[in-house]
A and B are shown apart, each in its own frame.
Chain A
Amino acid sequence: MTGAPRSIVVVDDDEDVRRLLVLSLSRVGGYDVRPVDSGQACLAELRRDRPDAVVLDVMMPVMDGPATLEEIRIDPDILDVPVVFLTAGIVDSDVERLRTLPVSGVLHKPFDPMRLPAQLAQLLGW
């Protein structure tokens, strides 16, 4: 990695999980992490400043992960931003459905904050 660290937008409605994601990805992974708390905020953040990747929670009120992804994929300015889902779901059919969407991968909660950055980098091919 040269120059400025890669930037990642993390989206999760749970404040604690968000904080943990920031700690893990910035402290362990060394990324520039920008947390937001909803799908709408994510879209605004992406349009404001295009990041290198998005870590997107699936189950969120108002606008869930797949809905947010859909909005990202139809906006010409940000449609090619890599997205990784972060899900607490366990029902296989749900997870399978997530994998069929245009994302780089699916990560599961609970995650190990010490290993998360490496797992993310592997999914994104960094």
Chain B
Amino acid sequence: MPRLLRRGSTTSRRSYDGPVVVGRSRSRIWVPALVVGAFAVVALVVLPYDSPRWSFVYLCATLVALVVLFGAALAMPRGTRVVWWCLFAFQVLTMASQAIGDHARKSGTSAFPGPADWLSLLAYVPVLTALGVLIHRLNPGRDREAWIDSSILSVAAASVFGLFLIVPVLSEPGMSRAAVAVAVTYPVLDLAVLASLIWLLVGGGRPKTTMLLVAVSFAFTLTADILRDLSLVDAWSGAPQSVLPALRVAAVVTMAAAATAPGAEDIAVPRETVRPHATTTRLAVLAVGVLAVPTLVAVRLWDDASKLTLLLALAAIIIIILAVWRIGLLVTAVDQQRQVTELVLDSAGDGIVGLDREGFVVFANLSARRMLRCRESDLIGRRFHDVAHHEYPDGRAFPWHECPVQQLVQRGGEAFIPDQVYVRRDGTTFPVEIIISPLRVDGVLTGAVQSFRDVSERHAVDELKRQFVSVVSHELRTPLTSIKGSLQMLDSGLVGELSGEQAELVSMAVSNSERLSQLVNDILDIERLDAGRLPLKPESVPPARLAELAVTAMAGAAGAAGIQLVLEVDPSATEDAMVFADPHRLVQVLTNLVGNAIKFSDRGARIMVRVTVAGTYAHLAVIDHGRGIPAEHLESVFDRFGQVDAGDARREGGTGLGLAIAREITVRSGGEIPVTSTIGAGSTFTVVLPLVDEDAAARITPAPAGVGAEEAL
């Protein structure tokens, strides 16, 4: 059975082979990372740049950091590997572009924008990919909102920073528009990434240390890119350029430290709990982002604007503040509503799981998580079938494409599915019943709600009942065997002739012991029909054959009652007209009907069993010429103990259960028993069964899952 491996802080980290030895203990990774970080800071602040010796030190530090980052990315679990590979790719591309830039500078061909600058731009492709993965993973089910929020912040930060601070500085004579655009792009992208990271962090993104270090790394890159831009402007060229390589080294070293920090492998793993305050904090951060642009507009207008323009700018700021406040209230209200809804769903005793159209979990209530012993993160975003429904009751693997839930979810069907087995996170299983209902938004199918109930206890009760029936059956039948057998032997005269009155009394005792034993059978049958434990073993059988068997079985009884029992098979009932039914049980139905007919017919009367085929149905009619059934009782004859007149049971020796059982069996075979009757002229009970069409036969055949459950009882 494919157990799901959970990548969490509890899983020990895989060590890897490589030039840098990273042990299993986190403190041993953490300490060297700190040392390298400290070195980066010292290098940045203290060390001079323009010496070959320090260039060499920088080079070594960069290489070591890149190798550490590479090794860490290599050892990441699958869920977060892509993020770390992207960040690694970013660092490599940045370093490469820096090297090319240095080379160009030394050879005196430092036109801007040159190859190095284009390579630098390319480096943002993996970064934005990594950011996308993080935003998507850390905001399960809400990634569209997350993208919008993140974009607001990025655009705000970028426009304030780029348009108001960098562009004016760069826009001096000698700079082409293209050069300005490229130069502005790096810091703007850095800032956008930084803003999104901070936003993820305040929104509950964990592990905190790792995300903080990644953010710091981008802060270094941002600073370096600003300094580089400034160096393009004559008025600023000079001192800042010398710290540029140091900043780049600091960025890559910090990134390596982030990748080796404790919990770095969990960077893209969503947390179980979404803290309510995160919403507030996020809104505050968003408000700052939204307000930044108009504030700066206002500040810039201050110099040369008319009072009216200034007032308008202020009005805009106030309106935006009010709008953000309003949105905040709205979000809080929606959040409270969501909490109420979740509380309601969590309080339900049944497991409730929301699925999308591919069967992936978008929601799981508390009961579902408790029954499956799962955390929310074990379910959300995974296919429910793969997490918990991947075994048949007999332990065989249950592929998704065989799962009945699959079709229902994809087609929007609704169904009750009994006798299934779910697998808990620890590998143990429990029996469940599932109800699937489609989920439609504005008439469009978006998924399904799957609610399920643990039926272990009910199965235990069913098993007790089964044992009870078995014991009762044995205990009732053993004395009945002796009583009935003894009476039958007496009655046969084999052990001595009986006088007239003796024979009459014994005969009375025989017929009543007969009735008692029939009653025991009927009660047990009814009990098993109710419990769904009277398994029908349907097969294709000609209806005439069923009638023949019943007539043969009842010939003796009819003869004894002086009644002529006739079988008539209509030519329409050909040999290849088959019904799909359990022959044993259907013969039981027919003998019961014939038995009834005999009971209510007078001596010398005639009873006919007629088999016809009409359309796609076979009709097995039992026709008597007895006294008939009043119209108002036609339906109640099938009720339990529902004989037409209370005296009948005693007089005619029935149990009152026979017809109820007969109808139940017929209905479960896909048929019905209509009755027509005329007072004084007789009654006709017709067993109507659908003829076999091969597809239908395949549908009625119990699925393997169902059979397994039946046998497990």
- Interface size bracket, B side: 20 to 34
Least CB distance, B521 to chain A, in whole angstroms: 7
Residues A111 and B481 in contact, CB atoms below 8 Å apart = yes
A-B contacts, CB under 8 A, total:
74
Complex CA–CA separation, A17 to B533 (angstroms): 29
Q: Is B676 among interface residues, defined by CB-CB distance under 8 A?
A: no
Residues A109 and B477 in contact, CB atoms below 8 Å apart = yes
0/1 interface trace, chain B 494-518, chain A, CB 8 Å (1 if under): 1100000000000000000000010
Residues A16 and B482 in contact, CB atoms below 8 Å apart = yes
Least CB distance, A100 to chain B, in whole angstroms: 12
Complex CA–CA separation, A27 to B492 (angstroms): 12
Complex CA–CA separation, A111 to B477 (angstroms): 10
Least CB distance, B669 to chain A, in whole angstroms: 16
Complex CA–CA separation, A16 to B466 (angstroms): 27
Residues B474 and A17 in contact, CB atoms below 8 Å apart = no
Residues B489 and A114 in contact, CB atoms below 8 Å apart = yes
Q: Is B390 among interface residues, defined by CB-CB distance under 8 A?
A: no
Q: Is B337 among interface residues, defined by CB-CB distance under 8 A?
A: no
Residues B484 and A110 in contact, CB atoms below 8 Å apart = yes
Q: B495 — which chain A residues lie within 8 A by C-beta?
A: 23, 27
Q: A113 — which chain B residues lie within 8 A by C-beta?
A: 485, 488-489, 492
Residues A20 and B474 in contact, CB atoms below 8 Å apart = no
Residues A110 and B480 in contact, CB atoms below 8 Å apart = yes
- Interface-side segment among A2-10, A46-54, A76-84, A88-96: A88-96
Least CB distance, B539 to chain A, in whole angstroms: 15
Least CB distance, A62 to chain B, in whole angstroms: 16
Complex CA–CA separation, A28 to B489 (angstroms): 9
Partner among A17, A92, A114 whose Cβ is within 8 Å of the Cβ of B535: A92
Q: Is A24 among interface residues, defined by CB-CB distance under 8 A?
A: yes
Q: Is A75 among interface residues, defined by CB-CB distance under 8 A?
A: no
Q: Is A59 among interface residues, defined by CB-CB distance under 8 A?
A: yes
Least CB distance, A76 to chain B, in whole angstroms: 33
Least CB distance, B356 to chain A, in whole angstroms: 41
CB nearest neighbor in A for B710 = A93
Q: Is A70 among interface residues, defined by CB-CB distance under 8 A?
A: no
CB nearest neighbor in B for A109 = B481
> For residues 8 through 42 of chain A, which have their beta carbon under 8 Å from a beta carbon of chain B?
14, 16-17, 20, 23-24, 27-28
Residues A91 and B478 in contact, CB atoms below 8 Å apart = no
Interface SS of chain A: helix, strand, loop or mixed? loop
Q: B470 — which chain A residues lie within 8 A by C-beta?
A: 89-91, 94
Residues A88 and B489 in contact, CB atoms below 8 Å apart = no
Complex CA–CA separation, A113 to B483 (angstroms): 11
0/1 interface trace, chain A 95-121, chain B, CB 8 Å (1 if under): 000000000000001111110000000
Residues A90 and B524 in contact, CB atoms below 8 Å apart = yes
Complex CA–CA separation, A110 to B495 (angstroms): 20
0/1 interface trace, chain B 605-649, chain A, CB 8 Å (1 if under): 000000000000000000000000000000000000000000000
Q: Is B309 among interface residues, defined by CB-CB distance under 8 A?
A: no
Q: Is B469 among interface residues, defined by CB-CB distance under 8 A?
A: yes
Complex CA–CA separation, A109 to B495 (angstroms): 22
Q: Is B486 among interface residues, defined by CB-CB distance under 8 A?
A: yes
CB nearest neighbor in A for B467 = A91
Residues B481 and A88 in contact, CB atoms below 8 Å apart = yes
Q: B528 — which chain A residues lie within 8 A by C-beta?
A: 91
Partner among B466, B485, B710 whose Cβ is within 8 Å of the Cβ of A110: B485
Which of A23, A109, A110 is packed against the most chain B CB atoms within 10 Å?
A110
CB nearest neighbor in A for B521 = A90
Least CB distance, B467 to chain A, in whole angstroms: 9
Least CB distance, A1 to chain B, in whole angstroms: 19
Q: Is B473 among interface residues, defined by CB-CB distance under 8 A?
A: yes
Which of A28, A59, A94, A109 is packed against the most chain B CB atoms within 10 Å?
A109
Least CB distance, A56 to chain B, in whole angstroms: 15
Q: Is B175 among interface residues, defined by CB-CB distance under 8 A?
A: no
Complex CA–CA separation, A42 to B488 (angstroms): 27
Q: Is B695 among interface residues, defined by CB-CB distance under 8 A?
A: no
Q: B473 — which chain A residues lie within 8 A by C-beta?
A: 88-91
Least CB distance, B712 to chain A, in whole angstroms: 10
Residues B534 and A92 in contact, CB atoms below 8 Å apart = yes
Residues A91 and B481 in contact, CB atoms below 8 Å apart = no
A24-B489, A27-B494 known; A88 vs B482 contact (CB < 8 Å): no
Q: Is B713 among interface residues, defined by CB-CB distance under 8 A?
A: yes
Q: Is B711 among interface residues, defined by CB-CB distance under 8 A?
A: yes
Residues A89 and B494 in contact, CB atoms below 8 Å apart = no
CB nearest neighbor in A for B472 = A90
0/1 interface trace, chain B 227-268, chain A, CB 8 Å (1 if under): 000000000000000000000000000000000000000000
Partner among B485, B517, B713 whose Cβ is within 8 Å of the Cβ of A93: B713
Closest 9 CB pairs of A and B: A16-B482, A88-B477, A110-B481, A20-B485, A109-B481, A90-B473, A88-B474, A113-B485, A110-B484
Q: Could you show 25 A-B contacts with beta carbons less than 8 Å apart? A: A14-B478, A14-B481, A16-B479, A17-B481, A17-B482, A20-B481, A20-B482, A27-B494, A59-B474, A88-B478, A89-B473, A90-B470, A91-B466, A91-B528, A92-B535, A93-B710, A93-B711, A93-B713, A94-B470, A109-B481, A110-B477, A110-B480, A112-B485, A113-B489, A114-B494
**Chain A residues at the B interface, C-beta cutoff of 8 Å:** 14, 16-17, 20, 23-24, 27-28, 59, 88-94, 109-114
15 extra A-B contacts, CB within 8 A, seeds A20-B485, A110-B477: A17-B485, A20-B482, A20-B489, A24-B485, A24-B489, A59-B474, A89-B474, A90-B477, A90-B524, A93-B711, A94-B470, A110-B481, A110-B484, A113-B492, A114-B488
